[in-house]
Amino acid sequence: METEKKKRIFSGIQPSGMITLGNYIGAIKNWAQLQDEYECFYTVVDLHAITVRQVPAELRARSIQLMSLLLACGVDPEKSLLYFQSHVHQHSELAWILNCYTQIGELSRMTQFKDKSAKHENNVNTGLFTYPVLMAADILLYQTDLVPVGHDQKQHLELCRDVAGRFNGIYGDVFKIPEPFIPKVGAKIMSLQNPTAKMSKSDDNVNAYISLTDDTDTIIRKFKRAVTDSDKDIVYREGKDGINNLISIYGCVTGKTIEETQKEFDGKGYGDFKLAVGEAVASHLKPIQEKYTYYMNNKDYLSEIYIKSARTAHDVAKRTLTKVYKKIGFIQ
């Protein structure tokens, strides 16, 4: 009996800074969990990163760090592909072709372009404007079935589907139309200093986020400084954003329910609770940090992984691009 072919998932992450506890619980932890059920293509999207000015040495360092962290977080090179976007040249080539099938009006409506233009007003470049087209190329290149999307990327996936449909309407069945995949994401982890805002690695206040590479003392210190409220009860309820956030984090790293956490800390003070959350997070991250150090100290082995993955990705991408070239009339 023939085994059912696994559906293909594509997902990418920018090397824009160290992964936070929020990134890990909300998304990256899920990458590892998808590997058994799906055929996963994971990439560090370094081409996307240069829409913002980069210091070359820092970009290289962050790219290697991110690759090492993803492996440490459970991405298995025996089950998934994990490579650098720039190592598969078909991403850029297909992006140029799709630019010619994407309307300026469509790109002008992208809210992320408006947001980033306001944030980087001294560098509103063409790459920032056509960023969603490169994202469409990333996805369509691999005949992707499913794309994990957060709220901020939904509009980009809709554009990808529109462009693929337009191209198929002209040339026939060339691209698979990808579907959004809403994974079972972890809890939305909020800032430790402003618990009404999402935890972000770009936060100016280093006490607002936990980096996956923070040592135990740093983690505990940051949790001790976490903003809570003037109440005394460790309960999950409306109006207690800081405590709600800490309860969520504690549950994510210990597997305990809200009710179990409330019972465990009934009658205890905020200081005891903050310390317990910090210790639980540090304990949970320790094996990840040990694996991260291993990969960072074994660069040759690390390069074997991403080069091998890129070669496989290249072979898949080449088949799609060859078909596209033939359809639009390029000489083979």
Residues carrying an active site annotation: 116, 198, 201
d(CA 306, CA 15): 15
CB 69 within 8 A of CB 19: yes
d(CA 83, CA 271): 43
d(CA 137, CA 156): 11
Which of helix, strand or coil describes residue 148? strand
- Residue corresponding to tokens 């936990």: 210
CB 96 within 8 A of CB 49: no
CB 6 within 8 A of CB 38: yes
- Residue corresponding to tokens 């760090």: 65
- Max CA separation in the chain (angstroms): 76
Helix (H) or strand (E) holding 243: helix 241-254
* Contacts for 217 with CB less than 8 Å, ≥ 6 apart: none
Q: Which two structure tokens, joined as six digits, stand for 311? A: 């070669």
Q: Is 330 exposed, middle or buried (0-12, 13-18, 19+ CB in 10 A)?
A: exposed
* Of 315, 183, 285, 192, residue with least CA distance to 242: 192
